[in-house]
Amino acid sequence: GESVGLHLPTLSVQEGDNSIINCAYSNSASDYFIWYKQESGKGPQFIIDIRSNMDKRQGQRVTVLLNKTVKHLSLQIAATQPGDSAVYFCAENMRGNQGGKLIFGQGTELSVKP
Amino acid sequence: GAVVSQHPSRVICKSGTSVKIECRSLDFQATTMFWYRQFPKQSLMLMATSNEGSKATYEQGVEKDKFLINHASLTLSTLTVTSAHPEDSSFYICSADTPYGGGPVDEQFFGPGTRLTVL
């Protein structure tokens, strides 16, 4: 079936370095993508989103890139901090007949070394 | 921002009993609520979509008679795990959908999750 997947299950970076988390999606009809951060024992926390009519969007220390040609999404975190340690999920919003439900990727665990 | 709460935050029950989990949107009315299940080190898996006043729509492979969903109002949805077994032990997360995000796509706000342990 349709799914959203990630290339790397774990990522370890040094504090202050930039982090890049990747995601591949399979539904070319998806028109909205979201990155979530999930800390242990908590619900997902919205980080940044991007619509399919854009290829880049920037937030505070985060940038999301969307490449619709290869159905690839990435999250870049600048100057990674220990507080960024968490699991990051991309999610695909399937509108129309799917009623707006989200399909989550497998997740990448980001570990920031001090 | 919009706040979604869940109650209880964690519950331990004996095998064969039923457990009810509540999901509330505290400062907005949710047109739709979603229930997810998450096993350790895994992603969130959508279980069902519920709309206020109508029957929930379950994802393929999710037993509707085991996971009863009631969406009684625009601020409350409940998930009841009936005759729970150890394999039902998981982290259950709800989200609430609101059309008030300002864009064409409804925003979803997630609850903090409920840790269910079935002995």
- pLDDT tens digits for A76-110? 999 999 999 999 999 998 765 455 788 899 899 99
**C-beta atoms of B44 and A99 within 8 A:** no
pLDDT at site B37: 97
Cβ neighbors of A70 (< 8 A, separation 6 or more) are none
pLDDT at site A43: 96
For residues B76 and B24, the answer to whether their CB atoms sit within 8 Å is yes
The residues facing A36 across adjacent strands are A46, A89
Burial of A111 (0-12, 13-18, 19+ CB in 10 A): middle
Mean pLDDT in residue range A65-71: 95
Tokens in use for B14?
């004996």
**C-beta atoms of A107 and B49 within 8 A:** no
pLDDT at site A1: 35
Residues of chain A found within 8 Å of residue B109, distances taken between Cβ atoms: 46
Instruction: Return the residue matching tokens 């959203």.
Output: A4
Residues of chain B found within 8 Å of residue A89, distances taken between Cβ atoms: 43-44
Alpha-carbon span B113 to B118, nearest angstrom: 16
pLDDT at B76 over 70: yes
Mean pLDDT in residue range B62-76: 93
**C-beta atoms of A44 and B110 within 8 A:** yes
Q: How confident is the model at residue B29 (pLDDT cuts 50, 70, 90)?
A: confident
Burial of A72 (0-12, 13-18, 19+ CB in 10 A): middle
* Candidates B34, B43, B115; nearest CB to A107: B43
* Candidates A32, A45, A103; nearest CB to B105: A32
Amino acid sitting at position A36: Y
Q: How confident is the model at residue B105 (pLDDT cuts 50, 70, 90)?
A: low
Q: What is the per-residue burial (b if ≥16 Cβ within 10 Å, else e) of B73-105?
A: ebbbbbbebeebeeebbbbbbbbbbbbeeeeeb
- Name the closest residue on chain B to residue A31, using Cα atoms: B105
Cβ neighbors of B61 (< 8 A, separation 6 or more) are none
Mean pLDDT in residue range A61-74: 96
Mean pLDDT in residue range B91-99: 88
The residues facing A77 across adjacent strands are A19, A62
pLDDT at site B100: 56
pLDDT at site A2: 40
Q: Kindly report which listed range (A5-19, A94-108, B84-98) carries the lowest average pLDDT score.
A: A94-108
pLDDT at B2 over 90: no
pLDDT at A3 over 90: no
